[in-house]
Amino acid sequence: MKNYRYVILGCSVAAVAAIEGIRSRDREGAVLVVGEEPCKAYGRPLISYYLLGETDLTRMDYRPDDFYRENGVTLRLGVRAEKIDPERKIVTLADGEQICYEKLLIATGSRPFDPPMQGIESVKERFHFMTKADALALEKALSPEKKVLIVGAGLIGLKCFEGIAARVKSVAIVDLAPRILPSILDDAGAKMVQSALEAHGAAFFLADSVLRFDGGTAYLKSGKEIAFDLLVTAVGVRPNTELIKEAGGEVNRGIAVDECGRTSLPNIFAAGDCAESFDIASGTHKVLALLPNAAFQGRTAGVNMAGGEAKLQNAVAFNSIGFFGTHVMTAGVYEGEMYCEAAERTYKALFTKDGLLKGFILINLPERAGIYLKLLKERIPLGRVDFEALKTAPAWSAFSPEAREANFAREV
Amino acid sequence: MKRIYVNEKWCLGCHLCEYECAYANSGIADMVRALKGKPIFPRVRVEDAGEVHFAVNCRHCSDPVCVQSCISGALTKGKDGVVRIDRQKCVGCLTCVLVCPYGAVLPSPEGHAAMKCQLCTDNMMGEPNCVKHCPNGAIVYEEREAAQ
């Protein structure tokens, strides 16, 4: 049986960040990465940009080709891990191979979740939009005479729309929620983005749902009917937690981890979309299925796996996402007092509570938005900055001279 | 590593560094041809607030959150410590703009990529052109230590 000091299950962003975290402490220990997808880590959100023609399969690679070799990483791609024995510290792969670990990282991500939909099996061409393979399969089916139905007006469904809009005849998008991007936008923000998407041909059916499918027709709850050739379901995702659950580890919505990335099982860590984080904005443990958070968690876990000390203590939901040049940045929770500026093409909403910035929405206002995110993540008391000035424009002149000295006259 | 540091009390707010940056990154040898009558998109920006003026550009953080957050792997920190953006890999999602606590990674005018100060390692200047031409020593390029 092969023996590795570090075994990582999953080969995406959390895995890469963990390798970097491990190697910041331990240049020698053998690392094995087991990935179910048959390829090295790629920027998963890039699949819509691939369909748009703004990147290609090579440029999508998340790290240079020699990254794994240079870091002494053995790759076992295209194979699934089936079972963990935490007592004996053994992972069993789908091909029967057993591997011994000293420290194990679960970075198995998430998978699409389709609620039961009547008649779904009568739909011939069905797709998800999570992986490179999904994007390539969808691309093969695209053609200018085809009508597409996307179920789900969240981040995945709408980025899919952006990717395919110019390559098909029409796209209809159905969502149960009364507004698009319901998890990250408020009503006013959602309306603005919806108009931008409609200008590119999106036909929305909101506060509606598919009651049943019959071949190329979707019958909606509202009584409307949509004829389509291709169906993309982007309703939701489920964290891949089974390995930990079956091994007896603690799992809620995602795998429960502490701020070092440790699961409840000894020597086993978890990071990325399969794991929970403590979200400082809501004060709750939840899955923050965001690429940067996977990187933060992966790095933290890697450092701790290699005997170092790292803690992730400022996790928060944030998104930066564009649709046909309309750019949306959001973070945190939308609670407390709201400051709002709305114009024809721009929208700003800042939410404050208990003297802290708790959340924000910025549409077409990307300039220096990181200063707002800093206030939120570092829970900087707004009494310590000139928040009146910051409301209008994020700037360091609103911070104290001492803060500027520490940040601009010193190494950071 | 050598970085650009701000001596706030010496900054007059003349914005010359912004012009020198735009010139350095224009790829045009003649400064007038590079800048005259054109909107500029410098990677260093001067903040003006009453009597307070100071220049802001990338801090080349020792643990850069932009690099960790990049969705495409376009941002890297080189062995020389310089944080660089590969504009071919960048898709312009602006996650780096959202996470930079300094507001020092900027959307570029054409919208398809972000842009940032690379300490003039990506042009013909050899060393930061903003620093070289600051009339007052309000920005300097040198080794300094982190605050205790």
CATH of A120-235, one of 1.10.3720.10, 3.50.50.60, 3.40.50.970, 3.40.50.720: 3.50.50.60
Q: How distant is the Cα of B44 from the closest Cα of chain A, in angstroms?
A: 12
List the single residue in B with minimal CA-CA distance to A294: B69
User: How far, in whole angstroms, is CA A148 from its chain's centroid?
Assistant: 24
A412/B62 Cβ within 8 A:
yes
The reported pLDDT for the residue numbered B84 is 97
A327/B8 Cβ within 8 A:
no
A370 reaches B (C-beta below 8 A)? yes
A331/B91 Cβ within 8 A:
no
Which residues does A86 contact at the CB level (< 8 Å), separation at least 6? A247, A248, A249, A265, A266, A267, A268
Phi and psi at B92, nearest 5°, equal: 80, 30
| Contacts of A257-261 spanning 24+ positions with Cβ under 8 A | A257/A297, A257/A301, A259/A300, A259/A311, A259/A312, A259/A313, A260/A300, A260/A301, A260/A304, A260/A309, A260/A310, A260/A311, A260/A312, A261/A105, A261/A297, A261/A300, A261/A301, A261/A304, A261/A312
Q: How distant is the Cα of B102 from the closest Cα of chain A, in angstroms?
A: 6
The reported pLDDT for the residue numbered B148 is 60
A189 reaches B (C-beta below 8 A)? no
Confidence of residue B112 (pLDDT cuts 50, 70, 90): confident
Tell me the mean pLDDT in the region B15-24: 97
Which residues does A12 contact at the CB level (< 8 Å), separation at least 6? A35, A37, A41, A42, A44, A62, A107, A109, A272, A294
Per-residue pLDDT of chain A (412 residues; tens, 9 = 90+): 999 999 999 999 999 999 999 999 999 999 999 999 999 999 999 999 999 999 999 999 999 999 999 999 999 999 999 999 999 999 999 999 999 999 999 999 999 999 999 999 999 999 999 999 999 999 999 999 999 999 999 999 999 999 999 999 999 999 999 999 999 999 999 999 999 999 999 999 999 999 999 999 999 999 999 999 999 999 999 999 999 999 999 999 999 999 999 999 999 999 999 999 999 999 999 999 999 999 999 999 999 999 999 999 999 999 999 999 999 999 999 999 999 999 999 999 999 999 999 999 999 999 999 999 999 999 999 999 999 999 999 999 999 999 999 999 999 9
Domains A2-43+60-111+238-305 and A120-235 share a fold: yes
Q: How many CB pairs under 8 A join A and B?
A: 135
Q: A135 - beta bridge partners?
A: none
Rounded to whole angstroms, how far apart are CA atoms A295 and A289?
A: 11
Q: Is the pLDDT of residue B146 over 80?
A: no
Q: Is the pLDDT of residue B110 over 90?
A: no
The reported pLDDT for the residue numbered B49 is 95
Q: Is the pLDDT of residue B145 over 90?
A: no
Query: Which residues 45-74 in chain B show a CB within 8 A of chain A?
Result: 47-49, 52, 54, 56, 59, 61-62, 68-69, 71-73
ipTM of the modeled complex: 0.97
B13 reaches A (C-beta below 8 A)? no
Cα A287–Cα A206–Cα A162 angle in degrees, nearest 5: 70
- Quick one: CA dihedral A140, A141, A144, A149, positive or negative? negative
Hey, where are the domains in chain A?
Answer: 2-43+60-111+238-305, 120-235, 328-411
A320/B98 Cβ within 8 A:
yes
Residue entry with tokens 């053994």 = A90
Dihedral of the CA atoms B116, B122, B123, B129 (nearest 10)? 50
CATH of A2-43+60-111+238-305, one of 3.40.50.1000, 3.40.50.720, 3.50.50.60, 1.10.287.70: 3.50.50.60
Q: How distant is the Cα of B138 from the closest Cα of chain A, in angstroms?
A: 11
- pTM here is 0.96
Query: Which residues 330-359 in chain A show a CB within 8 A of chain B?
Result: 331
Contacts of B109 in chain A (CB under 8 A): none
Contacts of A370 in chain B (CB under 8 A): 97-103, 105
A406 reaches B (C-beta below 8 A)? yes
CATH of A328-411, one of 3.40.50, 3.30.390, 3.90.470, 1.10.3470: 3.30.390
B45-55 pLDDT per residue, tens: 999 999 999 99
A68 reaches B (C-beta below 8 A)? no
Confidence of residue B61 (pLDDT cuts 50, 70, 90): very high
Confidence of residue B147 (pLDDT cuts 50, 70, 90): low
Mean pLDDT taken over chain B: 95
Rounded to whole angstroms, how far apart are CA atoms A150 and A127?
A: 9
Query: What tokens appear for B97 in the block?
Result: 């703009």
Contact A114, A121 (CB under 8 A): no
The continuous run of DSSP H or E covering A92 comes out as strand A90-93
A55/B72 Cβ within 8 A:
yes
A58 reaches B (C-beta below 8 A)? no
